[in-house]
């Protein structure tokens, strides 16, 4: 498919590359309209932005090699590390960005701690020769990949959104989540996951996915992108070109994607097209062996995948970021070699190099030898800085934004809309008389929340005897099932196919809102309107069709 007219960002980038190299450079097209022909929705900054691409090009033209290299590096900072060490890391390597990992120290107020850390990091960055500040990212997918777990409103997992099938609520909920992240000083979220789960029931991605049906996943991905970026937080569509058709964990080995090109186009790439059409500012490339495109080469290091497919055919012109470079498929090379190979393949931002100093030196050495053409580094740094100038047009919300009741109400609506009964009656109550809530190991908090929510709805909950309501969740297997009247799946619903309960229901999440929604259905105070976004052996997508 031919590329569309060049965007302003692309024209500015071409002009800069011509100055640096004395010749024209490879360019990419603009994001194409969505399937209905409507142009992508672009959020309006709170303050007018002049021309982010032109500003970036002008700045890059003044930077030396060390500053250019710093812009494409994004190492990890642990939330529980001392702030002075993190500040020194930013200054030493003249970083363009960092990713926040780990957990907030015990006893600290999460929102205040994160905001204080991001303010210190930004102050350090703005005192250097590239005064644009930092890209500060994290993996706040919600569900079981969530970095900030207290103070902020906890949305349900992606699969719960897929079960609810309410893209309007998805967009609104993620706009609220974006405001909270922005208030914390986080300006990139490595979400949404755009992976379509295959028939094998991928447990690596699991409930991080919106489901197994490409149209539904695409709808959700577009809604998340619009919501986040309306709040001034850059969305990242991942893991390109799709991690859903494999059960191999790419942290540990290189998964092979064996589907043919037609299937790749129709299924796996569809949500990425939706994210790009919605205006996503980043795409994360996965460590995936895509046999239909470039056999034997991880997509994260493949020019055929990143340039020919992502930019040339899908028309993406934003920032391409690697999946973590400390994962096994990238660790086959040393940090410097992996960094150079990633840039040569078309990556713009190098996430979590295992040794930032070695990655930096490897790039500098490759520049000096001519192996890495300077226009390629300039191109990458320009895209990174264009994103920074774009984000600078958004005001940072006050910390009081975090935990807003309106956001909590939206999370509760999604949780309630996603509850699915896969076996049993459509309306409750599902139990009569006293109830005993049991759980698999390690789920005492969810047991307490469900107990409280059932009692609030007039159900008597006892410690012995009674009808059993049993909770299972992430990582559980058949051995974690027990005889029960009701079995509730709090992660992927696959295990419900092995249960023997008269009533089997899924919440896909273990948040307090999910437990409250489950209690309402069990007590007969609400109807389960969700539909499982993945197939469960022996069970319908919902027992309440129609």
Which residues are the active-site residues?
A: 251, 323
204 C-beta neighbours (distance < 10 Å), count: 18
- Token pair belonging to 294: 């470039």
442 C-beta neighbours (distance < 10 Å), count: 11
∠ CA(88), CA(89), CA(92), 5° rounding?
80
Whether residue 466 contacts residue 441, with contact meaning beta carbons closer than 8 Å, is answered with no
Directed axis angle between helix 356-369 and helix 374-391, to 10°? 130
Whether residue 60 contacts residue 376, with contact meaning beta carbons closer than 8 Å, is answered with no
∠ CA(320), CA(321), CA(326), 5° rounding?
155
d(CA 415, CA 390): 33
Whether residue 176 contacts residue 493, with contact meaning beta carbons closer than 8 Å, is answered with no
Nearest to 378 by CA among 73, 30, 56: 56
- Token pair belonging to 234: 């850059």
Q: Which residue has the tokens 């696959």?
A: 494
Q: Where are the alpha helices (DSSP H) in 104-213?
A: 110-126, 158-164, 167-184
Task: Tell whether the torsion through CA atoms of 34, 37, 41 and 42 is positive or negative.
Answer: positive
Q: Which residue has the tokens 């295992």?
A: 354
Whether residue 415 contacts residue 517, with contact meaning beta carbons closer than 8 Å, is answered with yes
Q: Spell out the residues 6+ positions from residue 112 whose beta carbon is closer than 8 angstroms to its own.
A: 399
**DSSP E strand stretches across 388-474:** 420-423, 435-439, 467-472
């Amino acid at each position: 498919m031919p590329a569309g007219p060049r965007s302003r960002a692309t024209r500015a980038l071409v002009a800069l590359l011509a100055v640096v190299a004395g010749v024209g450079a490879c360019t990419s097209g603009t994001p194409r309209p969505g399937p209905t022909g409507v142009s992508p929705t672009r959020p309006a900054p709170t303050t007018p932005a002049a021309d982010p691409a032109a500003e970036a090009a002008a700045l890059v033209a003044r930077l030396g090699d060390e500053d250019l290299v710093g812009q494409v590096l994004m190492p990890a900072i642990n939330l529980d590390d001392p702030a002075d060490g993190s500040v020194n890391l930013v200054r030493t390597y003249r970083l363009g960005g960092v990713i926040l990992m780990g957990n907030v120290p015990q006893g600290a107020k999460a929102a205040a701690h994160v905001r204080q850390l991001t303010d210190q990091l930004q102050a350090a960055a703005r005192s250097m020769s590239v005064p644009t500040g930092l890209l500060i990212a994290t993996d706040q997918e919600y569900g079981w990949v969530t970095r900030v777990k207290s103070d902020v409103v906890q949305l349900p997992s992606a699969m719960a959104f897929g079960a609810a099938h309410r893209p309007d609520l998805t967009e609104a909920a993620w706009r609220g989540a974006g405001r909270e992240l922005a208030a914390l000083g986080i300006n990139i979220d490595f979400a949404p996951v755009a992976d379509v789960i295959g028939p094998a029931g991928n447990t690596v991605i699991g409930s991080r996915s919106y489901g197994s049906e490409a149209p539904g996943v695409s709808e959700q991905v577009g809604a998340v992108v619009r919501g986040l970026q309306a709040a001034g937080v850059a969305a990242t569509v991942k893991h390109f070109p799709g991690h859903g058709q494999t059960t191999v964990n790419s942290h540990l080995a290189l998964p092979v994607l064996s589907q043919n090109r037609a299937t790749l186009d129709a299924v796996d790439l569809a949500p990425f097209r939706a994210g790009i059409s919605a205006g996503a500012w980043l795409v994360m490339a996965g460590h995936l062996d895509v046999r239909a495109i470039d056999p034997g080469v991880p997509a994260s290091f493949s020019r055929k995948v990143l340039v020919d497919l992502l930019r040339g055919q899908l028309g993406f012109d934003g920032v391409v970021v690697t999946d973590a470079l400390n994962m096994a498929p990238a660790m086959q090379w040393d940090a410097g070699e992996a960094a150079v190979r990633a840039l040569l393949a078309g990556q713009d931002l190098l996430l979590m190099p295992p040794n930032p100093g070695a990655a930096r030196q490897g790039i500098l050495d490759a520049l000096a030898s001519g192996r890495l053409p300077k226009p390629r580094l300039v191109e990458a740094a320009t895209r990174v800085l264009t994103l920074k100038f774009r984000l600078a047009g958004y005001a940072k919300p006050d910390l009081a934004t975090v935990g807003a009741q309106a956001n909590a109400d939206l999370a509760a609506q999604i949780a309630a809309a996603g509850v699915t009964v896969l076996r049993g009656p459509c309306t409750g109550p599902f139990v009569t008389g006293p109830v005993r809530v049991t759980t698999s190991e390690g789920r005492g908090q969810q047991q307490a929340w469900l107990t409280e929510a059932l009692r609030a709805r007039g159900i008597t909950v006892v410690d012995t005897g009674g009808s059993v309501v049993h909770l299972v969740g992430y990582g559980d297997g058949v051995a974690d099932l027990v005889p029960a009247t009701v079995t509730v799946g709090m992660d992927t619903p696959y295990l419900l196919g092995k249960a023997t309960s008269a009533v089997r229901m899924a919440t896909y999440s273990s948040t307090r809102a999910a437990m409250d929604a489950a209690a309402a259905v069990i007590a007969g105070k609400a109807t389960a309107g969700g539909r499982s976004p993945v197939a469960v052996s022996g069970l319908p997508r919902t027992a309440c069709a129609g």
